[in-house]
Amino acid sequence: MTSRPAADAFVAELTDLFTRLGNLRYGEDVSQMEHALQTAHHAKLDDAPPSLVAAALLHDVGHLLQKIGEDAADHGVDTRHEHISAGYLARAFGPEVTEPIRLHVAAKRYRVAVDPAYLDRLSRASLQSLALQGGPMSPDEVEDFLANPWAPSALRLRQYDEAGKAPDADVAAFATYHDLLRDLIG
């Protein structure tokens, strides 16, 4: 079990990371911080469990850890941010937080494979990254994805992710999630 001081320290580390680097852009009309807060906001509106709200808030932390701005995809680089995010967060959070994060790119690939109209709803940046991430899943990949017990949570996270890209949205600050994050650490 993680101690309260260790939980506080990790939440402080996350807060510092988002405070210092959250202004980074990644091809969308919002910053990383704005996107994180909006994605978490949509999870809360959907009455998602606390673990999925945390996953929504932290799903793109890998972009911050890499300190890569919006030009990674422009240079043909799939940064595999979902794996970096999940690995980093696994230091403190369980799979109920990290697995939807690890699978949120796969969820996009799944959605495009099973619902071609979903492609039309993706932003330019999501379309660009989709191409780098492998495009729509093959039938075998779809089967494997659906067999994963975390697939439903990843699909919900994907929904919040796509909704969290509105410029000038009015959402709660990062600090409002501190207690939720602390309570999940351990």
Residue 66 neighbours by CB under 8 Å, 6+ apart: 72, 79, 81, 84
Q: How many domains does the chain have?
A: 1
Q: What is the pLDDT of residue 171?
A: 97
Whole-number Cα distances in Å, 144 to 46, 147, 160: 27, 5, 23
Residue 99 neighbours by CB under 8 Å, 6+ apart: 86, 148, 150, 153, 154
Q: What is the pLDDT of residue 175?
A: 97
| Distance (Å, whole) CA 172 – CA 71 | 28
Q: What is the pLDDT of residue 77?
A: 40
Tens-binned pLDDT, residue by residue, of the chain (186 aa):
567 889 999 999 999 999 999 998 766 789 999 999 999 999 999 999 999 999 999 998 988 887 644 444 444 444 667 888 999 999 999 999 999 999 998 999 999 999 989 988 887 877 777 877 778 899 999 999 999 999 999 999 999 999 999 998 999 999 999 999 999 996
* C-alpha closest to that of 62 among 32, 82, 34: 82
Do 113 and 136 touch, CB atoms closer than 8 A?
Answer: yes
Residue linked to tokens 């191409």: 131
- Residue 143 corresponds to which tokens in the numbers above? 């089967």
Q: What is the pLDDT of residue 49?
A: 98
Structural domain including 99 reads: 4-184
CATH of the domain at 142: 1.10.3210.10
| The model's pTM | 0.89
What is the Cα 97 distance to its own chain's centre? 10
